[in-house]
Structure 1
Amino acid sequence: MGFLDKIRACNAWNPGDFVPLWLNGTQIGWLHRRARDHLRRWPRQFGVESEAVIWFGAPEGFAARTEVLDTLFAALAEEGVVGPPHGERYPLTAGTRDQVCCLIDRAYAPFLGARAFGQHLNGYVRTPHGTEMWVGRRAADRRHYPLHLDNLVAGGLPYGLSLADNLRKECAEEAGIPSVLADRAVAVGAITYCRAAPEGLKPDVMYCYDLELPEDFEPVCTDGEVESFRRLPLAEVAALVRDTEAFKLNCNLTIIDFLIRHGFIAPDEPDYLEILAGLRAPLP
């Protein structure tokens, strides 16, 4: 295993397994072929072809489109085709968050192969012995990756919240970081990746942040999503990423990015240029 293996794992998908979803001449998603077939049940909404699905029956209004998809996913959830809703609203968009055509529940973005946006924060401390990083262990009841290691703060970016407001919210909920400290977080870029998942396709964008924390800071989870926290030397974190499957899959990417920017992964690292390029994979 190695750093590049983790990047490749986040970008593993076969385009031949998916077909584009179109709305008014714009591609808004990628449907797995089995998801495509489920949409045949709504012939007044979707034109299902062998290599594409066209949402020709979409209402003109934002709220009306949202209602159509809410009804569709409620039916699919009742039958067990998809899981229960998450409860957060995501924009259905072909581009950026402000190019939204309607809203969907976060849980159903992969079914549509829709772009999803999140924020990940690496919290670190400079000590006399070198840089150390705070990592969390996800709670056992998490829907995805229970008991895996995680970034200090990581969460989805719901529609209607600014990046700054959502980061403050996630910092408070996941690690007990007060707003005055959360506001010191430095935006350091974005990571993009696309991978196949059991739920469909995940073409995801993660906005990344660094937050240098006082040495006496102790994170406290207030929303039950994290079981415990540990502060580890950066070399130990790097080894966990490189050599194990301990971290939630996409968290590996944000840590690799941190390791590059802080000089831990240097240009003499094997596959250095491929690692750099892999953190910014083009989204379909």
Structure 2
Amino acid sequence: MTRSLLSVVATADNFPLYAIPPSSPPSPYVPFHLTLSDHLNHLSPLGLLRQDVIREMKEISSKWEKEGEEGIWEFEENGKPDETGNWLSEITCVYFNENLVKKGSNELGKVMAKVARSWKDQGKFPGPLAGWRDELYTIYASPKSSGLQQSAKSSQSGSFDNVAFNLERAACALFGLATFGVHMTAYEGEGVNMKVWVPRRSKTKATWPGKLDNSVAGGITAGSTPLETIVKECDEEASLPEDLVKRYIKNRGVATYFYITEDGFLQPEVEYIYDLPLPPSNSAEYVRPAPHDDEVESFALLTIPELIGALHSGDMKPNCGLVYVDFLIRHGLITPETEPNFLEITWRMKRTLGVAMPGI
């Protein structure tokens, strides 16, 4: 009997399906918007907030106001009396102070950076903030957001111009914000004779140390495009030269999934997917992937049965396992005839995340 790969996908896409806007997010999460108007108009939120994060947001915003500074966020509340007459209220939305929004994305980014750094310095939220990278990620708002209309337009082009602000990578999960990366599979041969290059992450990595990974992968830092990022990562992680990568690389769309960490932080993620069919090993163009920086420990060239065995082993970084499943499906190596959960696997790798995206 064929062993299903659904569990591999479900390890990465482990947040239950939920009703997306205009419906409310699942309790106890609260939508995080740029403006109140965005919430009232049922636009996709920036992210989804936990109750403990909201409490810290209220505390620091109140502290700033008491010190004579402008508040950061507003907290929309609804309430009603219970059966004993006591008033019960709940926060239904968190959004930025209107005057702060008018100052634009740069000022929003500075304030968010100050907040995140203060929490880190105070030892709050040690799970996500322990992985501080000093790398900025782009945070998007709905293109229809009234906040984007108030502030200056982003200099980004195409589908990437609806930028709300930039934020330290490690802080994104605190606010349930979407993050974006690139994942590439480098392979040799075709069909049943195909072999895939699979690296093992360095044991010094801040996240998932020592786990198996995709051939090349990395987060998209603020101001970079997916293609720029994957070309850079190919050099840094796998010693693959730019001219070879640009000649052979193929964009294969995206994978989307919603991950919730062991300590309960939300990470809706989008990965731009690439394939790199390497030239034959006896070709003058051939370059064998090899570690270049301290992020990769080693590379192994695996047959397809070996790769599937690695997927089932539990030794792989969860989202990388999902990307390999996508690769195997696209190359006809997993089919409806061989995978009993083919349909569920397919749609779970392309799910709608319910938060703002580039151009959406």
Q: Of 87, 90, 93, which residue of structure 1 is paired with 2:134?
A: 87
CA RMSD, Structure 1 to Structure 2 (Å) = 1.9
List structure 1 runs of 4+ shifted beyond 6 angstroms: none
Q: Of 212, 219, 222, which residue of structure 1 is paired with 2:277?
A: 212
> Match of 1:23?
34
User: Take 1:168 and 1:2, find their aligned partners in 2: how far apart are those partners?
Assistant: 33
Length-normalised TM-score, structure 1: 0.94
Number of residue-to-residue matches in the alignment: 283
Contact persistence 2:4–2:340 (CA under 8 A): no
User: Take 2:264 and 2:163, find their aligned partners in 1: how far apart are those partners?
Assistant: 22
Larger Rg: 2
The residue type paired with residue 211 of structure 2 is: H
Query: How far 1:215 sits from its partner (Å)?
Result: 4.3
The residue type paired with residue 94 of structure 2 is: V
Contact persistence 2:138–2:165 (CA under 8 A): yes
Query: How far 1:88 sits from its partner (Å)?
Result: 1.6
Gaps (5+ residues) in structure 2? 17-25, 39-44, 63-70, 78-90, 143-158, 282-286, 355-360
> Match of 2:115?
72
User: Take 2:334 and 2:138, find their aligned partners in 1: how far apart are those partners?
Assistant: 35
The residue type paired with residue 95 of structure 2 is: I
Q: Of 233, 241, 245, which residue of structure 2 is paired with 1:170?
A: 233
Contact persistence 2:4–2:341 (CA under 8 A): no
Query: How far 1:13 sits from its partner (Å)?
Result: 2.6
Matches within 5 A, 1:41-56: 41=59, 42-43=61-62, 44-48=71-75, 49=77, 50-56=91-97
Q: Secondary structure at the match of 2:318?
A: coil
- Cα deviations across residues 60-118 of structure 1 (Å, max 9, x unaligned)? 22211111101101100101114253122111113564311111011111111111110
User: Take 2:160 and 2:171, find their aligned partners in 1: how far apart are those partners?
Assistant: 16
The residue type paired with residue 181 of structure 1 is: L
Q: Of 224, 242, 260, which residue of structure 1 is paired with 2:294?
A: 224
Contact persistence 1:45–1:55 (CA under 8 A): yes
Query: How far 1:130 sits from its partner (Å)?
Result: 0.5
Identity between Structure 1 and Structure 2 (%): 30
Contact persistence 1:136–1:149 (CA under 8 A): yes
Q: 1:218 to 1:63 in 2, by over 3 A?
A: same
Length-normalised TM-score, structure 2: 0.75
Query: How far 1:7 sits from its partner (Å)?
Result: 1.8
> Match of 2:145?
none
Structure 2 residue 208 is the aligned partner of structure 1 residue 190: no
Contact persistence 2:199–2:299 (CA under 8 A): yes
Query: How far 1:122 sits from its partner (Å)?
Result: 0.3
Q: 1:111 to 1:152 in 2, by over 3 A?
A: same
